[in-house]
Structure 1
Amino acid sequence: MDKLISTGETNRAIFTVSDDFDRAATIDLIKRADLDDLRNPLFLEHVVIPKIGLDRFIAEHYPENIRQYCGKNFMACQMPIQLSKYLAYLSSKKINSYLEIGVAMGGTFVLTVEYLKRFNGEIDAMVIDMNPPGEHLDWYSENGGNFRYLVANTTEPKAANTVMSRKWDLVLIDADHTEEGCWRDYLMAKEFARLIAFHDVVNELTPGVAAVWKRLKEVLPTSRYREFIEQYPDFTKTAEFSKTMGLGVISLS
């Protein structure tokens, strides 16, 4: 069934993250931070994203020096070196509505919503996921988060109806990671979004998403897409694979 939840130059000193991993304090940090700092990828990478926390279930994907943040707070399944630049890119866009297809623990969703609100005011935010919301999004909805949540697989008509219910400023696709499934989600969203983002566009463990991203880059002019795929040098030297995660954004308007 549907579940709808209402809900100047930066110096080195601020790049120190305290041991106080507290969800309310993390939200407050985003709300109080200077907008110039929030536009700074280094501030996002070294201060904000560590406070959001990283996914403990894929700790081996992260360089050792940032594994201390795994399992903390909202647990974003992201590489800070990539997510920081993606968010900074979004800060220059007018985004009043955001749909995330596939939410995992909710870290990326919470951070993106709170970040976009700093530049655009309140936004219409929604999640479509085949699983009910977990503890992090439950906490967020009970502590000021204002969003809707639809429990559905994207193959279900109610998911397509939700996507087609309005024109979304930004849609993030991070659900079915097979090429067929990712492409299907793209086709569902492309007529109803100004910007579409994809996660795992260079992840060697999810070649289906990478194949979709390659297909899109082959037909789109370079001015219509951006990718954030930088890798940590120490990680690429020690991991069994050389590339992981990656974010890509295409402009449809």
Structure 2
Amino acid sequence: MLKTFSGRAPSQNEYELRSFIALLNERGVTRYLEVGSRHGDTFHEVMTSLPAGSYGCAVDLPGGLWGKRRTEQTLLAVADDLRAKGYVIDVVLGDSTSQGIIEKIRGLGRFDAALIDGDHTYRGAKADWLNYAPLADLVAFHDIVGQGMAEKVHGNPVEVPRLWAEISAEHDGCVEFVDSDSKMGIGVCTSH
């Protein structure tokens, strides 16, 4: 089972995350963007699987998960731990769909890979796709499986499966990592 930096239960399926990380390593990823980093557990796991000296940028809402201060503090602790391990890390706190944040991320240059795991509504996830896919060679989404599931805090629908179905139908080079009986899944587009 995955161990998390925060000590919380993992929000990723181990098989799916390990498969995604294997693809990143296969592709020689050294510049990684994560939109929707929450506590930073996935960000930490991915970054520590990349070569030391790799660059990572974690993006999350100010105050962290739905404005709860605890997630921001944990994410900043993740960044400090990664820096101590020899990684180059930026944490960008703000709404990933706001023009100021988009420009800030664009100013950081190209990324080898990006994981979109923030707003799970169709509109929010599509905005992140449109804004950040042009900046990365690989673009991944978390929670590509299922229909009509509701997110835990506000009960909003998780509409990433709908968006993923559209994207994977329109683009060659998309792969899925879905464990048996998983209600999450990671989808990756290697060309767009």
Gaps of 5+ in 1: 1-45, 54-71, 237-242
Partners of 1:137 and 1:150 in 2: CA distance:
10
User: Which contiguous aligned blocks of 4+ residues in structure 1 show a shift greater than 2 angstroms?
Assistant: 72-76, 131-143
**Matches for 1:160-171 after TM superposition, within 5 Å:** 160-165=102-107, 166-171=109-114
CA-to-partner distance for each residue in 1:16-41, whole Å, 9 max, x for gaps?
A: xxxxxxxxxxxxxxxxxxxxxxxxxx
TM-score (norm 1): 0.62
Partners of 1:108 and 1:227 in 2: CA distance:
18
Say if 2:11 is the partner of 1:77. Answer: yes
**Matches for 1:87-236 after TM superposition, within 5 Å:** 87-117=21-51, 121-132=52-63, 134-143=72-81, 144=84, 146-165=88-107, 166-204=109-147, 205=149, 206-221=157-172, 224-231=173-180, 236=181
Of Structure 1 and Structure 2, the greater helix share is in: 1
When the two chains are superposed, the root-mean-square deviation of aligned CA atoms in Å is 2.1
**Contact in 2 for aligned 1:127/1:149 (Cα 8 Å):** yes
- How many residues matched? 172
**Contact in 2 for aligned 1:74/1:106 (Cα 8 Å):** no
Deviation, 1:207, is 4.3
TM-score (norm 2): 0.80
**Contact in 2 for aligned 1:129/1:152 (Cα 8 Å):** yes
Deviation, 1:74, is 5.8
Amino acid at match of 1:140: V
The structure that has the greater radius of gyration is 1
Gaps of 5+ in 2: 64-70, 150-156
Identity of aligned residues (%): 24
Of Structure 1 and Structure 2, the greater strand share is in: 2
Partners of 2:8 and 2:55 in 1: CA distance:
20
Given the superposition, is the C-alpha separation of residues 225 and 154 from structure 1 closer, same or farther in structure 2, using an over 3 Å criterion? same
Say if 2:186 is the partner of 1:250. Answer: no
Deviation, 1:156, is 1.2
